[in-house]
Amino acid sequence: MDLKSSHISPVLTDPVPVNKSRLGMNSSLAPYNSQQDSSLSPGKASRSGSRKSMGGVDDVRSNGWLDAMMASSPPRKKGLKGSSAQVASIDDDTEDYYLWMLEYPSALDSFEKITNLAKDKKIAMFLDYDGTLSPIVDDPDRAFMSESMRRIVRNLAKYLPTAIISGRSRDKVFDLVKLTELYYAGSHGMDIIGPVSETLSKNHPNYVKSTDHQGKETTLFQPAREFLPIIDEVFRTLIEITKDIEGAKVENHKFCVSVHYRNVEENHWTTIGQRVHDILKDYPRLRSTHGRKVLEIRPVIDWNKGRAVEFLLESLGLTDRNDVLPIYIGDDKTDEDAFKVLRESHRGCGILVSSVRKESNAFYSLRDPNEVKKFLQLLVKWKRQQERRHGKK
Ligand SMILES: O=P(O)(O)OC[C@H]1O[C@H](O[C@H]2O[C@H](CO)[C@@H](O)[C@H](O)[C@H]2O)[C@H](O)[C@@H](O)[C@@H]1O
C-alpha cells in the first residue's frame, strides 16, 4: 500500500459549493470549507463566515438529524429504566427478524461455512467494543465486559492477531478491555497503536515509534493530530451548551467527542440535536455522525474504522494476500465503514451484532454480545483443534 497516495492518506474532502448546505444538506455530511479563515485553528470558522440556520430549513427536524437520532438504537424494553447497569436493547422476535436473517444469516449457524473459508488462511480479527464485547447500558462509564468475555478474547489473541476498533479514546477502551496482547484503534480508528512496520514508517509523517502498556516497541498512528486543540475546544463548548439538559453527557475521546442523549427525555432530543447542529456551523472541519443514542463529533478527514482495518492489515503484513481472512464484528453505523471495506475488497467478512433488522454491509449477524462470546469461543476451540492437528502445542 502506498502511503503517499491518496488511497491511504487521510486527505480532507473537497469543498462543496455553499448553496448545497443552504439547500438543507445535513451538516454531518457537509464538507470542509476551503473558504475558512486560515488564521483560525483547524476546523474553526469565523462567526461571520459560519453557516447560519436558514429560517427553519436548516433545522434538525427538517434535515434528517432528528429522524436519525430517533432511529439510532433499538427501542427500550419496557421496565428497563432505572439501573445504570441494565441492558437497554430489545429482542425483536418477530417474523421480520427471521426474514432479515435470510439475508444476514447467524454467524453461529454458519460457523462451519466461515471456518471452511478460513481453512489454510490466517484469520485477522477486528472487534468493536460497545454493543459487541459489552452490552449497551445507560451509563457509558459502566459499560464493562464480562470476565468470561475477556478470557475468551485473550485466548483468541493467542491464535489470531486481534484488534479492538472503537469510537472511544484508545486509553478509555484499553482501561475497559485490559488486555495487553491486542492492538487498539481508538477514536474511530484515528488513534492506532499497532506493530512496527518499516514500510509504513518510511512513508507517513503521522506514524511514530512508541511503546505499548508493556513497554514493547510499537507504532502510533494519529492522522488527526492537528485537530487536538479544536476537539478540546468543541468538547468544552458542548459541555456548556448541554449542561441544562438533564441526562445529557459529553465525552472527550481525544480525536472525537460523543454527545449522549440516551438518558435525556425524548421531548428534549430536538433541543440537544439542534444545539449540537448549530455549534457545528462554527466548525466546518468537524462533522457529526449518528451512533446508538449518541452524536459523534469528529474531524472531516478521510479516515474511519474501515481505513483503520486496512491500515492494521498493512502493519501486520497481511494486506494483498489471498491467505488472509479478516473478520470484523461490530454493532454500530460506524462499523459499516469496516464492513464495506471487507465487502468491496472481496476479502473477509463483516458480522453485524443486532437484535433488530438493519441494512448492513456485513455478511452475517449475531444477536448480542452473548452470541459474540459464543462465536469467539467456537473460534478458539476450532483454532486449538487445527493447531493440534498440525502438530503445534
Ligand atoms: O465504537 P464503539 O466501541 O462501539 O463506541 C461507540 C460509542 O460507544 C459508547 O456509547 C455507546 O455505549 C454506551 C454504553 O453501553 C451507551 O450508553 C451509549 O448509548 C452508546 O452510544 C461510548 O460511550 C461512545 O462514546 C462511543 O462513541
pLDDT digits (tens, 9 = 90+) for 328-339: 999 999 999 999
Determine the residue of 76, 130, 254, 288 to mutate for testing ligand 1's pocket, defined as the one with the most ligand atoms within 8 A of the Cβ atom: 130
Residue nearest to atom 15 of ligand 1 (CA): 136
Amino acid type, 91: D
Which of 128, 166, 292 should be mutated for ligand 1, with most atoms under 8 A from CB? 292
30-52 pLDDT per residue, tens: 222 333 333 345 566 654 444 44
Q: What's at 328, amino acid-wise? A: Y
Q: 79-126 pLDDT, tens per residue?
A: 333 333 344 444 556 788 889 999 999 999 999 999 999 988 999 999
Q: What is the DSSP string of 227-257?
A: GHHHHHHHHHHHHHHHTTSTT-EEEE-SS-E
Containing 298, the helix (H) or strand (E) segment is: strand 294-299
In this structure, what C-alpha cell is assigned to residue 180? 495487553
Residue 184, C-alpha cell as written in the block = 487498539
Using the atom order of ligand 1, give the atom closest to the CA of residue 173.
3
Taking a C-beta distance cutoff of 8 angstroms, is the pair 309, 328 a contact? yes
Whole-prediction pTM value?
0.83
Neighbours of 301 (CB within 10 A): 21
Q: How confident is the model over 165-193, as a mean pLDDT?
A: 96
Residues 6+ apart with CB under 8 A from 286: 43, 227, 230, 231, 234, 280, 297, 298, 299, 300
Grid cell 433499538 is found at: 74
> Cα of 292 to ligand 1 centre, how many Å?
7
- Answer yes or no: is pLDDT of 155 > 90: yes
Average pLDDT, the chain: 82
Q: Which atom of ligand 1 is nearest to the CA of 136?
A: 15
Give yes or no for a contact between 160 and 387, defined as CB atoms under 8 angstroms apart. Answer: no
Return the SS3 of 273: helix
Of all protein residues, the one whose alpha carbon is nearest to atom 27 of ligand 1 is 167
Q: Is the CB of 143 under 6 A from ligand 1?
A: yes
The residue contributing the CA closest to ligand 1 atom 21 is: 292
